[in-house]
Chain A
Amino acid sequence: DSGVTQTPKHLITATGQRVTLRCSPRSGDLSVYWYQQSLDQGLQFLIQYYNGEERAKGNILERFSAQQFPDLHSELNLSSLELGDSALYFCASSVDQHSTDTQYFGPGTRLTVL
């Protein structure tokens, strides 16, 4: 158990809908990262937050947005969902924001768009 929690574990929804994925980092970690794992693209970095501030953006679509709250939990919002958004979404956390910091991954949220 990494100490990172993600809810829900599974999400099934329809095209055009909007969903919110939730992540609680390990106690004491200030950085939160979101990654998408799909068969087509593999594991891709989406976005990083550090202590409530956005720090880096990767291949995140404009239909997706995220935020980190004062209690350091984070939410990833996916809107106007398409079939291709079906994937496993991972959240990770680290104590600081540097590239040498170990990132601890949650169990993931599996999103299925029908």
Chain B
Amino acid sequence: AQSVTQLDSHVSVSEGTPVLLRCNYSSSYSPSLFWYVQHPNKGLQLLLKYTSAATLVKGINGFEAEFKKSETSFHLTKPSAHMSDAAEYFCVVSDRGSTLGRLYFGRGTQLTVWP
């Protein structure tokens, strides 16, 4: 079975400082992993995804994530936070070995960016 644990429900950073949002996953098979962002009253937007190529994945808006199989982690980072990064972030897993596209979402991490 697939599941995702986002280790922090809230993260607060100052503008210009690094961002780290932590995610651990559990998967019976080789996983595909995603990070989505949800701004207030908006839908979900894909930040980046890992499907089996390079373990360091670069996404939009300066975000990146590293797939670490030994640690079953897929943490999201950004070197310098911007006010516009304030949103809710979801770590997501799916079963890469499956022909079905079902996604399993973590409970989300609310990122606050202080000026």
Real complex partners, A and B?
Answer: yes
A residues with a Cβ closer than 8 A to B are: 2, 4, 31, 33, 35, 42-45, 48, 55-56, 58, 90, 92, 94, 96-108
Does any Cβ of A come within 8 Å of B46's Cβ? yes
Instruction: Verify if B94 is at the interface (C-beta below 8 Å from A).
Output: yes
Complex alpha-carbon distance, A19 and B74, angstroms: 38
Among residues of A, the one whose C-beta sits closest to the C-beta of B30 is A99
**Interchain CA distance A94-B102 in the complex, whole Å:** 11
Q: Are A42 and B105 in contact (CB under 8 A)?
A: yes
B65 CB → nearest A CB, Å: 15
The answer to whether A108 touches B43 (Cβ under 8 A) is yes
- Chain B residues near A100 (CB-CB < 8 A): 32, 49, 51, 94, 96
Instruction: Please determine whether B43 and A94 come into contact, CB atoms closer than 8 angstroms.
Output: no
Find B44's partner among A44, A90, A96 (CB 8 Å cutoff): A90
Asked if A105 contacts B96 (CB within 8 A), the reply is no
Known: A2-B45, A90-B44. A98 touches B101 (CB 8 A): yes
Residues of chain B within 8 A (CB-CB) of A108 are: 43
* Bound-complex Cα distance A4 to B45 (A): 12
User: Which chain A residue lies CB-closest to B96?
Assistant: A99
